[in-house]
Structure 1
Amino acid sequence: MIGGLRLAVDARGLGLPMHISGPTARFVVPWEDAPADAAIRVGWLDEAALPEPMELVFASGGMWTLYRAAGGYRYDIAAPVFGPEPYRIAWFDPAYQTGCIWYRRLPAVIAAMQSPLEYPVDELLVTNLLARGQGVELHACAVVDTDGRGFLFVGQSGDGKTTTARLWTRAGATVLSDDRVIVRQCDGQWLMFGTPWHGEGEFAAPAAAPLNALFILCKGAEDAARPLPPGLAAARLFARAFPPFYDAAALDFTVGFLERLVTAVPCYELVFRPTPAVVDYVRRMQP
């Protein structure tokens, strides 16, 4: 369960025990008959009738390449350690509600296998589900203060998200994530969710909390919060979001979602020094 989305994975076709460890294991819940947001089957490449790639959609420049294929989307995932050919191929229907993942049956691949949805498939699946009317993933640190208020500190790499997480933890608050946070509107309430994709501090909690205020992080010589007008706040958040940039409809939804978010939740630019004083400063704001 990630961001309130239930991902059902059937790996029985592998004939191998799958031992999920680390922060990802915290997000595993027992199998239930309840409807899943996405149902994924796992198997071997040499036993699969693969959907042929029809059109290149996006080349990440890293591990994965995306194609249109057989009424859906095919992701070819490669790593130099396993040779030039993809060692894993994933296919999803256009809504990302069903899919298959096939592994190449190589000793090195088998030895390295952990979660069937291991990176980058897990995040690709979730970000695409979110962009189809569910929410958005942000580069952020999510904090639940001792009084229950939820603060989201949004920033690029190096802006101080993990530093912020550590400062608030020392002050008694709970950190849901120090790097990637999912924001959704559920039953009219804006919620922030922890994810398995943590930062250097390895904060990754499978929990959600109401979102009371958003802060765009900016390091400076003093602690000061400046309210942001909705248009500027939405633009700042979009630059720190993880929508599927190769999907025009997904981008349209994300822009509209962020516009609604910044209209409903107070947004600030937070200039801060990396000291405990910034925690007291934000607490006194009473947003």
Structure 2
Amino acid sequence: MKLGELRPEEEWARRLISAALSRDVVGNDFNSGFRTYDLRIGDFTRPQAAIEVVQAVSGKHQKAWKSGPGRGALHVPGLDGGWIVVITPEADNRVLRQDLGSFLKRLEKAGQAVVERGDVSVESEMKRLGIESAYSDLDGTPGTVYTTLPIAVSLVSEDGGPLVTWLSNFLQAVPDVLEKLATSAEERHVFIPVHFGGAPSEVLLYLTDSDNDGLPPLPRKAPVLPAPVTHVWVISVFAGHGLRWDGGQWLTFPDVERRP
């Protein structure tokens, strides 16, 4: 990253915040190496808002996602249907891409539309390939295979309690962010992109849930934000909308240009 450039997540945050608030949001530290916040609204010497961007990410899951599911669907000629395959974070994607097609073709030939770990007929091959489970996608395009990482199944919270609790705990665990926001700016914002594995499953599911309008449900409780934070923005990198606390209420904001 060159001096004077924003990191991709900072530029993404800058655009989303600017669109949501209809305000000019500009870079503040530009990868300068100084311990200062990333973005601001207002003059450099007297900013109205100081904004720090911090990603919620699991290193293991992020690496696995980028080398596997994050590269897009696999296309396997000769398959009768589409498939969804859940892989482990430790799966070797080079081996998977080489041998997955023949494995799925054998399943189709045997008439097996669903396989999971524990099926003795395929257990050893699933372990070798790093597959947790595989499901025939009846509505999918023949030959198209989507891989994904496992996520614990849980009910989606109706009141957003898990998200509110997680936000408070997450911010308490990033003292460098709090240090950078110890400024005279009237507002101190934190923008949090949440990646796969970067938050508990109930939080990820809540952030990607939507009502009939396609918007995420609003939490019913105010977050307990550690000083000096006054505002918080949180969005899953897989969702089309995020949630923000403006100091007095929860609001939604759109992802005006989806993160690559």
User: By the TM > 0.5 criterion, same fold?
Assistant: no
Greater RCO between the two (CA within 8 Å, min separation 6)?
2
Point out the structure with max Rg over C-alpha.
2
TM range (shorter): under 0.3
More strand by share: 1
What TM-score, normalized to structure 1? 0.25
